[in-house]
Structure 1
Amino acid sequence: MVFIICLAALVAAASANNFGQNIALNRPTGSSSVFVNGVPPITANSNLAVDGNFNSDFFGGSCFSSADVATDPNPFWFVDLGSRVFVSGLTLTNRGDCCADRLSGLTVEVFEFNPTTSSETPEFCSTVIGGVALGQTVSLSCSPMVTGRYVRIRKPSATAPLTICEVVVSGGNIKPKFNGVNPTNVALNRPARASSQFTFAAANLVASPGLAVDGNFDSQFVTGRSCFSSTTGDLTPTFYIDLGAYYYISSVTVTNRGDCCAERLRNIDVGILVKDPFKFLEFPHLCGSITGNVAAGANFTVNCFYPAVGRFIKIQKTSMVDSNDLLTLCEVQVSGRSASHSEVTHKFVDDDVQRAVVENNAGLTNVDIGHVNGAFDFGFNGK
């Protein structure tokens, strides 16, 4: 029964946010190469694969193809969906006049950043091994759904060009219903804590956590004096915000340092907690991640995979390149609205502690677990 209810809720959310529609139609595209030649002459540009024309006759002028493998032995094609979204699957229409075997040996991946410049590890969606008939359409499912902005189709170690006559991508945004209330920055001037803070004695600067929620977006670390940073030697730098009440949170936006060291904003998880992390064990609800390539001084918004109710925001580096790979945040904004009494009380938290114990190998006894769960106090303050 619980599964049926959850499935119905997901279907309702998907229907409200255009799931199943083609979110790739007429979006910007790119490719490793483009075939230019033939009789009659033709240029098989990458945008032809998302023009809405399913004509599978290559010389009809609506199919993409990479160049000959002698020129491009590892061809790929990608589409920019415009923003970070859920990708549930896609369909590929094969060439119909000849060369059906070219739609084979494919890997479909999803990136947050442009795959031609990104060093991130993409999320895997699906593969096409072979067996697609002339002019036929093959349906691929990303199971589970993945998130990102760019969908890339690559054909490594190709023996023939990559040819696609049409690509349809299914997916969309899952957005919370705010009942007509626009979400606002609920983190402004709220209490903030961190696992460590950087002190720059020569400039008489303490990069304390509160600087990241002061409303000052100056990204110059020294002269602006409004950025938080962890210190050298902190191997798991972590930043927390206490929002002071329970909110329905949809996204978290961070401002990167602008004078140097932009690459530090990478390998970061953004989580949402109901309980005070300094008092209780709780498995955070993952809002999303930052993998890297955020420009100096730029804002980056992490749209939560699934919006969630919580009071505390946790931003943590999951890995470090070296001891100077600090967690630096010049401003953090949290987008949300006040959670209702029912949204908080109906939140499923019964297994939070048990999951945290397993995750952290804490080794608590069953008695300890029961005590911690029993100590949970919502503290509504009349809300």
Structure 2
Amino acid sequence: MIAPGRVGHLTLCEVEVYGKPALSGEILSQLQSALSLYISDFNLSWTQRPFKVKVKQQNTENLARRGTVTQSSTYYSYIAQNAIDGKRYGPGSAASCSITGYQLSPWWMLDLLDYYEISTVIITARSDCCLDQTNGVEIRIGNSTENNGNNNPICAVTSGFQLGQTISYSCGVMVGRYINLVMTGRTNYLSLCEVEVYKTENVARRGTVTPSLNQYTWIPEKAIDGIKYGSPGSFCFASGNQNTPWWRLDLKYRYEIDTIIITARTDCCPDQTNGAEIRIGNSLENNGNNNPRCAVTSGFSTGYTLSYSCNGMEGRYVNVVMTGRVGYLTLCEVEVYGKCNYKKSILKLKFLSSVDAVASSGKILSQLQSAMSLHISNFNLSWTRPPYKEKVTQPDTGPCVK
């Protein structure tokens, strides 16, 4: 307790603190009790107080490995397939890279054979030379094969490559079957040692929803049914006509949310989607409508789908609310893209005993695991290094007493 910037006495007649013992204390006590049934002489203590680390969910499947590839031309044996062989580096001079011929606007195209919501494209440059053959390349994603796919929307333009470097490009959420890499308007070789493509998931489909009120059969679940368009209103959520109508999505876990995509109804009434606040957070105060704001919707016409960037805002709840307005709130689809984060607790213990723990290490670990399972269902317990013997020299105080 401190009174900043003041000169004087601080008087406290009593300070009382209430709470529950930390789970770490309960765990240590339980472990000690379990070991005491098996070993009489030991000491068990934390080498470091338990702490938590944030673990990010990773996209694990490289979609490029599913696809087929072609390129504008091929330099000797440096075929287009080399860029999706799973080898970022290989022996020799660009041995596992694709290289086009020397030409105007060289390009390389990947056909994923299906439509995906692409979040990330990762490119590896050759390690021997020629960075100008990978820098300044447009990454294009879409569903059109016009101009060999080189007219599709741009995700990014490559830059900053050093020899053998791998750089990741975030595309937000771009939907497409074709991934093109093209040097528009330049005459050069195009070299790619590896191209990796990762999708993102609409995590709204995993959640549950709650409305302030719903109009007839326009239930809140219709905004996360995966159907953007249909006959007027049949696949949309609509609130009742009320003051400050809202819709809330519970993702069940905390996510770092990058993008939210909203689709308006196709028949009328864009005012029922425009002007809504998108709020993200972990609080249910005021039904979640007090959480931090990502954006306010605007620009909707009938049937429009608009994307809003939330730059990694963390939250379990996503609310769409028309604060201070009387009217309907209509949402034909709400999509949410981001990464699920969870926190992993790290517990480090030190075990000392005069008992031969080397021979009994398996039994000791088994006893600890049994005791731990009384408190925690999801855990892994292991030796950071196997038990070992250490000679302890007794101080010279006379005859050795056992």
What is the TM-score when the length of structure 2 is the normalising length?
0.41
TM-score between the two structures when normalised by the length of structure 1: 0.42
Larger radius of gyration: 2
Higher normalized contact order (CA 8 Å, seq sep 6+, divided by chain length): 2
